[in-house]
């Protein structure tokens, strides 16, 4: 089974102890940490270190960005540009870490950014004096660090940003955030299931409303005796056929068909037997599952299969005679 890939990026190598602590934390969750110093990034002979890192960012699911007081390494091509024309390029050059962040953001990869507490505190001073080039900042070696933080906070509202002083500040916050995201995904899945059930129920109700409309139109068209039994029977068969089509697309039914296929009754018969069944065990019996096959199914997929069966029983409840 695939594991979430977590790319760990920092503004300078002096944060290696923080990086190592995050690597241990990520691994403890069963995720795959990606750090260039650990050999997790495949380097190609025809690509620079920066290009290889950016490629791995694209292939990751999460980016953890650690921002300290040192701006970080420049790519070789950027260093060359500065040598050629420092006045033109010095303000436009971005560190490799900055580019990793920009690549992750452009690919809509989840980003969790952490800023050293002293740097984050001094960022407030930068905001008030961003146009004053004469200020020497105490906690950073390059004001572009603050420009990077500013970009994250002002332009990208969906990125999680937190200050830290020790590794536990990062790992504790990530543990809570990721647990919360997982809970949200589970709730969304439950909500999607409820919506799907509601859509099926609405479809069933729509079939019944169409039948009532047909009855009414026939009564209006004729003042003589109509063949009411034939009309009702035709409408019941139409409802049955419509619901049978939806029934065959249910995950549980697809699963059963995958297990036994041609050994099962005809589709309409499977639906009719479902309507008369009292529980999943009973249904499996009347469609031809042996005790051994039932035991194997319940061992492999008992709880979800049972839940699916009960959900379907709430949906596919037809008026008397509709399946006849």
On whether both 243 and 114 belong to a single domain, the answer is no
**Residue 188 lies inside a defined structural domain of this protein:** no
Which of 50, 35, 152, 143 shows the shortest CA–CA distance to 97? Answer: 50
Strands 32-34 and 5-10, how do they pair? parallel
**Domain final position from 121, 139, 165:** 165
In a structure prediction context, what are the per-residue pLDDT tens digits for the chain, which is 324 residues long?
A: 678 899 988 876 567 788 889 999 999 998 999 887 654 554 454 455 567 778 888 889 999 999 888 765 555 555 565 556 544 444 444 567 888 888 888 888 888 999 998 888 888 888 887 777 777 777 877 777 888 888 888 766 667 888 999 999 999 999 988 888 877 777 776 666 666 666 666 666 666 666 666 655 555 455 455 566 666 666 667 767 777 778 888 888 888 888 887 788 888 888 889 988 989 999 999 999 999 999 988 888 888 889 889 888 887 765 544 444
**Residue 170 lies inside a defined structural domain of this protein:** no
**Residue 182 lies inside a defined structural domain of this protein:** no
The token duo for 276 is: 């008369």
Residue-level pLDDT at 171 = 92
The token duo for 65 is: 């960005």
Determine contact, residues 90/44, Cβ cutoff 8 Å: no
Which of 24, 58, 53, 48 shows the shortest CA–CA distance to 37? Answer: 53
Range of the domain at 123: 5-165
On whether both 149 and 15 belong to a single domain, the answer is yes
**Residue 189 lies inside a defined structural domain of this protein:** no
- Domain with residue 12: its CATH number is 3.40.50
**Residue 149 lies inside a defined structural domain of this protein:** yes
**Residue 71 lies inside a defined structural domain of this protein:** yes
On whether both 13 and 142 belong to a single domain, the answer is yes
């Amino acid at each position: 089974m695939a594991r979430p890939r977590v790319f760990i990026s920092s503004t300078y190598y002096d944060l290696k102890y923080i990086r190592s602590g995050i690597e241990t934390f990520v691994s403890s969750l069963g995720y795959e940490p990606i750090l260039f110093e650990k050999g997790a990034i495949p380097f190609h002979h025809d690509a620079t270190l920066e290009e290889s890192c950016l490629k791995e960012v694209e292939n990751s699911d999460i980016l953890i960005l650690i921002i300290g007081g040192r701006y970080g390494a420049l790519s070789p091509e950027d260093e060359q540009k500065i040598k050629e024309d420092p006045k033109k390029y010095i303000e436009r050059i971005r560190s490799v870490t900055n580019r990793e962040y920009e690549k992750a953001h452009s690919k809509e990869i989840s980003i969790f950014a952490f800023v050293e507490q002293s740097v984050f505190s001094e960022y407030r001073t930068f905001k008030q004096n961003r146009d004053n080039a004469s200020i020497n900042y105490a906690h950073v070696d390059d004001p572009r660090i603050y420009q990077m933080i500013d970009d994250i906070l002002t332009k990208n509202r969906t990125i999680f940003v937190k200050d830290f002083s020790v590794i536990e500040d990062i790992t504790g916050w990530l543990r809570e955030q990721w647990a919360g995201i997982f809970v949200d995904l589970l709730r969304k899945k439950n909500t999607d299931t409820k919506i799907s059930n509601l859509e099926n129920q609405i479809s069933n109700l729509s079939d019944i409303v169409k039948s009532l409309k047909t009855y009414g139109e026939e009564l209006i068209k004729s003042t003589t005796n109509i063949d009411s039994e034939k009309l009702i029977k035709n409408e019941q068969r139409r409802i049955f056929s419509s619901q049978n089509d939806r029934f065959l697309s249910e995950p549980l039914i697809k699963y059963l068909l995958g297990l036994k296929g041609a050994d099962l009754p005809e589709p309409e018969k499977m639906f009719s037997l479902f309507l008369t069944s009292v529980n999943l065990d009973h249904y499996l019996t009347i469609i031809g599952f042996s005790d051994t096959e039932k035991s194997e199914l319940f061992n492999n997929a008992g709880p979800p299969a049972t839940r699916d069966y009960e959900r379907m029983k709430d949906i596919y409840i037809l008026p008397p005679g509709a399946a006849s």
